[in-house]
Amino acid sequence: MSGRTAPPTGWPAPTVAQLAGAPVELTPLASEVSDRYFARHPEDLDRYGADVARAWELHDTLHLLNWAIGDVEGFVALEEQVGWLADVLAARDFPLDHLADNLEIAADVAGERVDAPVAERLRAAAALVKAR
């Protein structure tokens, strides 16, 4: 067995969410977050391999965006989901400050392209991760 991280498998990440009755395409948002994230953390491309790092970044960011929208809509508790993800990532020795950065970048993108309350939820989740 190699020490390399495998790409995501299993249940696929969502690509569309509903906000105030309108569809929100998550993939372009996650792609923008991913580009900004790797500009800030290029070392993750080396650590995990470019293809795997990008696959996980998109996968997790799609979930984070979906959870944030679901939180605004009242049917997902973003902080609980982020707490669970932080536990999983910590167990895999992923730096949690990188997760916090990802959430802040996602908040920036959501604020620019989606909705201020979604961005606020993502910023609050970033603060939660930083406080761990």
Sign of dihedral through CA atoms 24, 27, 28, 34? Answer: positive
Domain span at residue 90 reads 34-130
For the CA atoms of 34, 35, 36, 37, the dihedral, rounded to the nearest 10 degrees, stands at: 40
The answer to whether residue 99 is domain-embedded is yes
The answer to whether residue 7 is domain-embedded is no
pLDDT number for residue 1: 34
Please say if the pLDDT value at position 53 is more than 90: yes
The answer to whether residue 123 is domain-embedded is yes
The answer to whether residue 20 is domain-embedded is no
The answer to whether residue 97 is domain-embedded is yes
Mean pLDDT lowest among 9-13, 69-73, 115-119: 9-13
The answer to whether residue 15 is domain-embedded is no
Q: How many domains does the chain have?
A: 1
Residue type, 116: A
Return the H-helix or E-strand segment holding 58: helix 50-73
